[in-house]
Structure 1
């Protein structure tokens, strides 16, 4: 990334380990010094992007679909999995088929995964649970609920060491089995007014992010080791390098035709439920609009 002159783009960074490879790549290239990197949980980043406190940020798919008119998607960049994602789960004490009428706790840290979980439970499995949104704390959520929707590092640690009596259902794998498509959990987006005013900066940030992905993919062991060190300093405890290597093999940071088809499928299902505005075709980034236009 070339220097942005006197302007520093305010760039969101998901503070979970799913974006650790991006952080590593930006640091390796030196591009991290050209942006004002703001780390936070996904919902906090979305709120800051939509309020104008950030210029560019990863944003959950559901949040994007609800605010597509105000955002410009950076082509080629997303967070998805074509099968198990390892960090977005329905954690259950009961078989999912037995959750009809039972309480399912939804993480307040998520929009896309909680809606995905509801689709899977109601439309794919055919049960109608009673939902309750709670602060993400698996032990606390399961004090009354029979299942919980959990995302991020907590979910990753749960899969690595499943507590007795619980079953972890990977929502990425469930979506793939149901639709045959990847699941896109997030895209990178700029505020549309910022993209129109400073297309040069948006292009530079996009190039830096794509470069960061490439660097991370070329050094998987170094990235996993750095992420393991980051995990040890986190509140929920350590994760081993082998676990993180498997995790980053599962994650896909591209946004190609297959991922765009998956977004279209998710958006159509969400719109049919009244969860996102229509018409769907106008809100799905099949082709990104021209910068500055």
Structure 2
């Protein structure tokens, strides 16, 4: 069967295209699957409407739907002590944000609830309104993740930048697991083998040649950040989740709100 036909007939796999996900997709253009572009905030709706067979899923969504979407091994995205790309940007110190409205980028899912818990329960702050979408006015604090966070940090516009990884670690002492790899429950185990093999090969290739993988990603997606800075950023993440990350998931299930109301 021609490769193109195999891809059309293969698994529909969620494809996250931001920098922290680079290690999972090295060489994925050659996998016998259909890559479906998505971000954390869209995965649940896409999964519910039958558009995905396997994908990374925001941990908060998996905690609500895990009976329908079993995990794919121990793969996921976790950070401890420092994320470097999950950041609250503010014109004021965090303890002065009582009652403040906070803008959030469109992509976030888990990070929104982590920040909600940090503000409300760690600092005892009232939260104004969560606003989806980013205003031009830098007077409004904002939560940015992944590439947007890296780019905003490089601009240096905000005097106060709070890393959610550090804030959570100081408070709870566990990593934050932003997403886990999952698959449809009704998939036969052998149907997942091409994806398992592809992910294992990708992680191995990234471990062997991280600079090459990062440079290729930057060229393909027009990322302007220096590859050396991105390699340092990726060093903050864990991709094969260990016991500390699993403890983090359990703690998140206990601490995070089950929902957060948004305004658009």
Cα drift, residue 189 of structure 1: 0.5
Partner deviation per Cα, 1:176-230 (whole Å, 9 max, x = no partner) = 1211111100001111122xxx211224312321221121111111122223324
C-alpha distance in structure 1 between counterparts of 2:26 and 2:119, whole Å: 36
Partner of 2:104: 106
- Bigger Cα displacement from structure 2, 222-231 vs 170-179: 222-231
- List aligned pairs for 1:149-188, cutoff 5 A: 149-163=143-157, 165-188=158-181
SS, match of residue 84 in structure 1: coil
CA RMSD of aligned residues (A): 2.2
Q: 2:142 aligns with which of 145, 148, 171?
A: 148
Q: 2:197 aligns with which of 184, 202, 207?
A: 207
Partner deviation per Cα, 1:222-250 (whole Å, 9 max, x = no partner) = 1222233245x25xxx1111111111111
C-alpha distance in structure 2 between counterparts of 1:125 and 1:131, whole Å: 17
C-alpha distance in structure 1 between counterparts of 2:235 and 2:131, whole Å: 31
C-alpha distance in structure 1 between counterparts of 2:80 and 2:196, whole Å: 23
Q: 1:160 to 1:143 in 2, by over 3 A?
A: closer
Partner deviation per Cα, 1:39-87 (whole Å, 9 max, x = no partner) = 2222223321232111000111111112112111111200111221111
Say whether 1:69 aligns with 2:67: yes
TM-score (norm: length of structure 2): 0.88
**Contact 1:50-1:191 at 8 Å conserved across structures:** no
**Contact 2:68-2:185 at 8 Å conserved across structures:** yes
SS, match of residue 45 in structure 1: helix
Partner deviation per Cα, 1:12-33 (whole Å, 9 max, x = no partner) = 1112122223222435xx4x2x
Partner of 1:257: 243
Runs (4+) of structure 1 exceeding 6 A deviation are 3-6
Partner of 1:53: 51
C-alpha distance in structure 1 between counterparts of 2:86 and 2:192, whole Å: 29
Partner of 2:183: 190
**Contact 1:52-1:191 at 8 Å conserved across structures:** no
Say whether 1:95 aligns with 2:93: yes
Q: What is the total number of aligned residue pairs between the two structures?
A: 256
C-alpha distance in structure 1 between counterparts of 2:218 and 2:8, whole Å: 35
Q: 1:8 aligns with which of 4, 7, 10?
A: 10
Partner of 2:80: 82
C-alpha distance in structure 2 between counterparts of 1:40 and 1:112, whole Å: 15
Partner of 1:24: 26
C-alpha distance in structure 2 between counterparts of 1:98 and 1:263, whole Å: 29
Partner deviation per Cα, 1:130-180 (whole Å, 9 max, x = no partner) = 022222x3x53x4562x11111211111223322x4322111121112111
Q: 1:5 to 1:160 in 2, by over 3 A?
A: closer
